[in-house]
Amino acid sequence: MNPASGDRHARDEQREHLELARLLPPPPHQDMAPDRLRTSKEFLLNEIDRHHRPAAPAARRWGRLALATAAATAAAVAVVVGTQGGGAPGEKAPPATTASVQLLNRVAQVAYARSQAQPRDSQYTYVRTVGHSTSLSERSDGSMQRDTITQNREDWTPVDGDRPGLQRSSGGDREIPALHGGTLNSPTYKLLASLPTDPQALLKQIYADADLNHGAGSGSTTGPDQEAFTTIGDLLRSSVAPPQVSAALYRAAGHIPGVVTVDDAVDAAGRHGVAVARVHGGERSEWIFDRRSLRLLGERTVLLEDSSWGRAGDEVTSIAVVGRGIVDAAGQTPDARSNP
């Protein structure tokens, strides 16, 4: 690297660090509780162990980035940003920005520290979401009609997937067939618990699944990178996973090319936050986080240019997560433990 390139790289790195500092409040300075400190040390030791393993020869490296101090734990870790798979045909995305990687790692550390009892196979995961999506249909005169569809619903999924689940919406209750283990597109808690907790191993598995329908020769315009980002977003929004797996999913997303940050985004419940996003096909998919707690609030897809789906700036979808947990029976909620 010549001196000019080195200086430019250093300036870019400094700008990314300043951007993250602007997006989020400073970490707290008070002493941590013993259990939080213990979890922080465990997370840091796992990171150190992971980064001292021999690297796979085929892996491409973009260099080490200093991880900013986490908001909840004030620990620092080093991460490696790499690429897996490829973008859509004819599209080569740059590596994820430093600010997005740092934000995802801060979110991961908070997720890792979140306490959650190990559920029993007989229990159910519960997720409640509110929001809307857009549908497009052709009128008899050939013009296109856009409609907004409400997406408010509650989902109960058996931990082991061996029994039917339940979905409740404005249209009433609907039984969901047993998943029997599940897939990445329809996961059970038991399946999620079996996933790798090493981010790169986890991302490799996600890309393998994405390549089946969106890889070279598939004819898909989505591409493996965008499909991997979408898959991780769906898992984080619509499922309940062990804290270690949730943390790995967030950190894995930092290895996907094209990931950036968005200063201000609003979820379907009207809550403002900072977002991690990826642009594809004139749309920006955003995962929205609370600035202080770093909890996932929801996600939305925003048009960046006029299209059949609407004008630039319009939301195609917007979903907010307003409830999540483990319950003993379908129909129960984590707060009331009874039929709502």
Task: Give the tens place of pLDDT for each residue, 288-332.
Answer: 999 999 999 999 999 999 998 999 999 999 999 999 999 999 999
Stretch among 19-23, 108-112, 276-280 having the lowest mean pLDDT: 19-23
- When pLDDT is cut at 50, 70 and 90, the band that residue 64 belongs to is very low
Give whichever of 85-89, 216-220, 244-248 has the largest mean pLDDT.
Answer: 244-248
Distance CA 199, CA 258 (A): 17
Asked if 261 contacts 275 with a C-beta cutoff of 8 angstroms, the reply is yes
> Helix, strand or coil for residue 21?
helix
Percent of the chain at pLDDT exceeding 90: 61
What was the pLDDT predicted at 88?
42
Q: Are 195 and 182 in contact (CB under 8 A)?
A: no
* Over residues 180-194, mean pLDDT: 95
Token pair 């907010």 is at which residue? 320
Q: Cite the DSSP H helix spans in 174-264.
A: 189-193, 199-214, 223-238, 243-253
179 — pLDDT class (breaks 50, 70, 90): very high
Question: How would you write 260-293 as a 3-class SS string?
Answer: EEEEEEECCCCCEEEEEEEEECCEEEEEEECCCC
Structure confidence at residue 71 (pLDDT): 35
- Cα–Cα distances in angstroms (integers) from residue 172 to residues 120, 133, 190, 323, 330, in the given order: 27, 19, 27, 18, 14
pLDDT digits (tens, 9 = 90+) for 207-226: 999 888 766 666 667 889 99
Beta bridge partners of 287: 276, 299
Q: Hey, which of 18-27, 76-85, 229-238, 331-340 has the most confident mean pLDDT?
A: 229-238
For the chain, the 3-state helix, strand and coil shares in percent, each to the nearest 5, are 30, 30, 40
Cα 72 to Cα 55: distance, rounded to the nearest angstrom: 30
**What is the distance between the alpha carbons of residues 211 and 195, in angstroms, rounded to a whole number?**
18
Average pLDDT, the chain: 81
Each residue of 34-57: pLDDT tens digit?
554 454 445 554 544 544 444 333
